[in-house]
Structure 1
Amino acid sequence: MALVLLPGLNNLIEDISEEKKLPAQVVETALREALLKGYERYRKTLYLGINENPFEEEYFSNFDIGLDLDQEGYRVLASKIIVEEVDSEDHQIALAEVMQVAEDAQAGDTVVLDVTPEKEEFGRMAASTTKQVLSQKLRDQQRRMIQEEFADLEDPVLTARVIRFERQSVIMAVSSGLGRPEVEAELPRRDQLPNDNYRANATFKVFLKEVSEVPRRGPQLFVSRANAGLVVYLFENEVPEIQEGSVRIVAVAREANPPSRSVGPRTKVAVDSIEREVDPVGACIGARGSRIQQVVNELRGEKIDVIRWSTDPIQYICNSLSPARVENVRLVDPDGQHAHVLVPPDQLSLAIGREGQNVRLAARLTGWKIDIKNSQEYDQSAEDAIVAELITHREEEESLQKEAEDRLAAEQAARAEEDARLRELYPLPEDEEEESENIENDTSSLEMNYNDEESKDSYIPEESNSNEDRER
């Protein structure tokens, strides 16, 4: 068959490569796959209205497209097996027919034949399929490259530019590095900040939350402005002591989207110093609050409490409730990490915070369950009785959980034992094969041992001809 010409093929590949930011080889591969799908559609249309579709799922697996970039065209190629009698003309070719061209041909060999249809026969429907498949393949390649490019990104914080809005999400343009092309990322509603003004072309720092596979859409980038990792990154950039390693961020608790509009976003950061002479809180705040102000500005006025981390849970809990003043902390249930914090009446609302935000963040930061109590109304004996009931209830739940786990383990062991017994009575084919292999291995090892013993018995030392040896 003649070569199907595609005038301007090289320019087409270059234009697509530049527009889609894809290598030319990737575009060529997508074009070959699209032309092959178009050929499949062309073949299937020949049977429309005649009979049912005779082509199985892998019917065209031996077909391929050969691009000729010099002459700007393509051919449809089919790999066929040489046989005596042909059952499928698309997969086989008669030996007698091949021997007319190659006398040394043999049955079982494979030949590649040109089966390109005439351009007029290719049809508008097949050409339309080729265009659709090419667009889809190019999108798939773009998404695959995006996934590979961003999946192992060392720096998860990116500079993003607002492009458009889709429903409640903001579509942003991000880049993985200097000189790299921009790609689209989605900022969902739950990851937006309430104080942000998302207008067209506005730029923001965003945290790369995940690169996930979305059904029917392929790999997608999801970014966040509400992730605690963004706070960590901003402090690392603003505080040289963190970059040097003398100060470290131990924990972060963030509520970027409070449950009520009357409560603003707030974050608590626990820091510690490796060197004694370095004040970790002062290093993060900076002179006259200059360093923390840069972080607050990037987060559009979000309140940030920087507190000192401590190995002592009592001191750590006291620090976490800043700016409230704490009188006493009672660790009423250390195993269950439950604490009562006693504060003066005038500090009660400050310790709890508006709608409980302050104590909620402190609990997340420390990992302890914190109950704020009025120090003047605190009845220790009554509170201890309540806590004792809670401890008893917790221990009962843990005991029931342990019993359930033990019972499940016993049931699984009994089931495994029963399965083993049944396989002994009614062995599966793979068990019989394994057993026969083991017998063969045992037999060969016995024969080897027998040969070894036989060789030992048959070994006779050479007679010594010297008188000295005889005397010995």
Structure 2
Amino acid sequence: MALVLLPGLNNLIEDISEEKKLPTQVVEAALREALLKGYERYRRTLYLGISEDPFEEEYFSNFDVGLELEDEGYRVLASKIIVEEVESEDHQIALQEVMQVAEDAQIGDTVVLDVTPEKEDFGRMAAATTKQVLAQKLRDQQRRMIQEEFADLEDPVLTARVIRFERHSVIMAVSSGLGRPEVEAELPRRDQLPNDNYRANATFKVFLKEVSEVPRRGPQLFVSRSNAGLVVYLFENEVPEIQEGSVRIVAVAREANPPSRSVGPRTKVAVDSIEREVDPVGACIGARGSRIQQVVNELRGEKIDVIRWSPDPGQYIANSLSPARVEMVRLVDPEGQHAHVLVPPDQLSLAIGREGQNVRLAARLTGWKIDIKNSQEYDQASEDTTVAELISQREEEEALQRDAEARLAAEQATRAEEDARLRELYPLPEDEEEYDQEEPAKTMAEDENESDGQSDDLSNQPDASSEQRSNEESLEEEDRAR
């Protein structure tokens, strides 16, 4: 078959490579695969309206496309096995036919033949398939490179630009670095901020949440505006003491999408100082709140509480309930991390927060279960009784959990013993192979033991000739006696 010419093939590959930011080798591989799919389409169209499509899914696995860049064309090649009698012309070739060209050919060898159809026979449907497959393969390669590019990104916070909207998601354009092309990322509804105004071409700081493989779409970037990592990044960029290491962020609790519209987004940040002379809270807030105001502006007015971390759980819990004033913190169940916080009556609503947001964030930040109590109505004896019952209930649940885990471990051990016994009675094929390998060594050892045993038995047996002589001597003595 003649070479199918594609005028401007080299320029086409270079243009696609530059436009899609893909290596030329990747573009060539995608083009070969697209042309092969077009050839499959061409072969299938020959049976349209005549008979049912006879080709299986892997029928064309032995076909390939060879690009000849110098001549700007391509060929369709088929690898065929040499046989005596041909059953499939696409996969086999007769020995007599090959011997006309190569006399040393043998049955079982593989030959590569040119099966390129004429350009006029290729058809519009096959050409359209080639174009569609090429576009899809290029998109897949772009997404794959995106996944590799963003998977190991050191800085997870990117600058994103709004492109369009799909259902409840915002599609944004992000870039992994200076000079790198923009790629699309999805900002789902649950990761958006209620105060954001997502209009076209608006820019936002976003947190790269994950790079995952989406069925039928390939690698996809998912970004977030509600992730706590975004708050950490913003503070690191605004507070030089955090960058230098003299101040560190210990924990962050964020509620960017409150359950009710009447409650605004809020974040609590616990900070600590490595150096005694540095005030961690003051460093994060800045002179007249200049530093924290930059963070608040980027988060569109989200309330942020910066508190001092403490190794003392009671003090840490009291600080976490800021701006409420706390009288006392009772660690009623340290093992279960349960605390009672006593506050004045006028601070009760402030400590709890609107719809419980303040105490909820404090509990997340500290990891303790916090109960806000009115200090004037607090009955310590009654509360201790209630807590004792809760502790007893918790210990019972923990004991039941341990018992369940012990029973499960015992059942697994029994099941393992039963499996081992059954494998001895009914060995699996792999067990028989191991047994066959070990058996010759055992047989040789047993043969050696048997030979040693036989030699021992022979050495212990009496000599037959000596026994016969003793019998004859006894008979002669009896005759002389008579």
What TM-score, normalized to structure 2? 0.89
Corresponding position: 1:366 with 2:394: no
1:241-296, Cα deviation, whole Å (9 max, x unpaired):
11111111010000111111111111100011111121111111112211111111
Give the number of equivalent residue pairs. 449
Q: Distance in 2 between matches of 1:8 and 1:375?
A: 85
- SS of corresponding position for 1:314: helix
CA distance in 2, matches of 1:147, 1:27: 18
Distance 2:234 2:61 in 1: 53
Q: How does 1:23-172 map to 2 (within 5 A)?
A: 23-172=23-172
Q: Which residue matches 1:458? A: none
User: Matches of 1:445 and 1:179 in 2, distance apart?
Assistant: 74
How many Å separate the matches in 2 of 1:52 and 1:195? 59
TM superposition shift of 1:54: 3.0
Q: Structure 1 residues 236, 55: closer, same or farther in 2, change over 3 A?
A: same
Partner residue, 1:227: 227
2:336 counterpart residue number:
336
Measured against aligned partners, the alpha-carbon deviations of 1:168-224 in whole angstroms (never above 9, x if no partner) come to 111110000111000001111111111111111111110000111111111111101
Once the two structures are superposed, residues 35-61 of structure 1 have per-residue CA deviations (whole angstroms, 9 ceiling, x without a partner) of 111111222232344444332322211
Query: 1:382 aligns to what?
Result: 382
- CA pair 384-32 structure 1, distance change in 2 beyond 3 A: same
- 1:296 aligns to what? 296
Provide Cα deviations, 1:420-471, integer angstroms capped at 9, x if missing partner: 11111111222111111223466789999xxxxxxxxxxxxxxxxxxxxxxx
Structure 2 distance, partners of 1:268, 1:441, is 71
How far apart, CA to CA, are the structure 1 residues paired with 2:191 and 2:297? 18
Partner of residue 466, structure 1: none
**Separation in structure 2 between the aligned mates of residue 42 and residue 100 of structure 1, nearest angstrom:** 30
Alignment partners' CA distance in 2, 1:441 and 1:242: 69
CA distance in 2, matches of 1:442, 1:306: 75
- Partner residue, 2:355: 355
- Equivalent residue of 2:16, what SS? helix
Question: Structure 2 CA distance, aligned partners of 1:447 and 1:8?
Answer: 80
Structure 1 match to 2:327: 327
Q: CA 1:398–1:77 in 2, change beyond 3 Å: closer, same or farther?
A: same
Q: 1:32 to 1:443 in 2, by over 3 A?
A: farther
* Structure 2 residue identity aligned to 1:151: A
Q: How many angstroms does 1:83 deviate by?
A: 2.7
Looking at structure 2, the residues matched to 80 and 237 of structure 1 have their Cα atoms a distance apart, in angstroms, of 64
Q: Percent identity among equivalent residues?
A: 90
Asked if 1:202 corresponds to 2:194, the answer is no
Supply the RMSD in Å over aligned alpha carbons.
1.9
In structure 1, distance between residues paired with 2:36 and 2:443: 55
- Once the 2 structures are TM-superposed, how far is the Cα of residue 408 of structure 1 from its aligned partner? 1.6
Deviation at residue 319 of structure 1 after TM alignment: 0.7
Q: In the alignment, which residue of structure 1 is the partner of 2:409?
A: 409
Is 2:253 the partner of 1:253?
yes
Pair 1:444–1:248, CA change in 2 (3 A) = farther
Q: Provide closer, same or farther for how the CA distance between residues 363 and 8 of structure 1 changes in structure 2, counting only shifts above 3 A.
A: same
Q: Structure 2: how far apart are the matches of 1:302 and 1:441?
A: 77
d(CA) in 2 for partners of 1:213 and 1:314?
Answer: 45
**C-alpha distance 74-364 of structure 1, shift in aligned 2 (>3 A):** same
Kindly provide the CA deviation profile for residues 362-384 of structure 1, in whole angstroms up to 9, marking residues without a partner as x.
00000000000000000001111
* Amino acid corresponding to residue 130 of structure 1 in structure 2: T
Q: TM-score, normalised by structure 1?
A: 0.91
Corresponding position of 2:286: 286
Cα distance between partner residues in 2 of 1:97 and 1:444: 57
Relative distance call for 1:447 and 1:136 in structure 2 (3 A) is: farther
Rounded Cα–Cα distance in structure 2 between residues aligned with 1:285 and 1:38? 63
* CA pair 446-229 structure 1, distance change in 2 beyond 3 A: farther
Q: Name the CA distance, whole Å, in 1 between partners of 2:445 and 2:50.
A: 66
The CA distance in 1 between the partners of 2:421 and 2:54, in whole Å, is 49
Larger Cα Rg: Structure 1 or Structure 2?
A: 2
Q: 1:441 to 1:207 in 2, by over 3 A?
A: farther
Q: Structure 1 pair 420/58, CA: closer, same or farther in 2 (3 Å)? A: same
Q: d(CA) in 2 for partners of 1:189 and 1:165?
A: 11
Q: Report SS of the residue matched to 2:263.
A: coil
> What is aligned with 1:461?
none
Runs of at least 5 residues in structure 2 that lack an aligned partner in the other structure:
449-482
**Amino acid in the other structure paired with 1:321:** L
Aligned-partner Cα distance in 2 for 1:226–1:277: 33
Post-superposition offset of 1:324:
0.8
- CA offset at residue 390 of structure 1? 1.1
Q: Deviations over 1:49-94 (max 9, x none)?
A: 4444332322211110011222221110011222333332222222
Per the TM alignment, residue 10 of structure 1 is displaced from its structure 2 partner at its CA by 2.3
Secondary structure (helix, strand or coil) at the match of 1:408 reads helix
Give runs of aligned pairs for residues 453-472 of structure 1, distance below 5 A: none
* Alignment partners' CA distance in 1, 2:366 and 2:79: 67
Amino acid at match of 2:215: P
Which residue identity does 1:164 align to in structure 2? R
Partner AA of 1:108 in structure 2: G
SS at match of 2:234: helix
Gap change, CA 1:64 and 1:441, over 3 Å in 2 = farther
User: In structure 1, what is the Cα distance between the partners aligned to 2:210 and 2:447?
Assistant: 61
Aligned mates of 1:91, 1:363 — CA distance in 2: 69
* Distance change >3 Å, CA 428–CA 101, structure 1 → 2: same
Residue in 1 that maps onto 2:396 = 396
Secondary structure in 1 matching 2:422:
helix
Residue type matched to 1:95 in 2? L
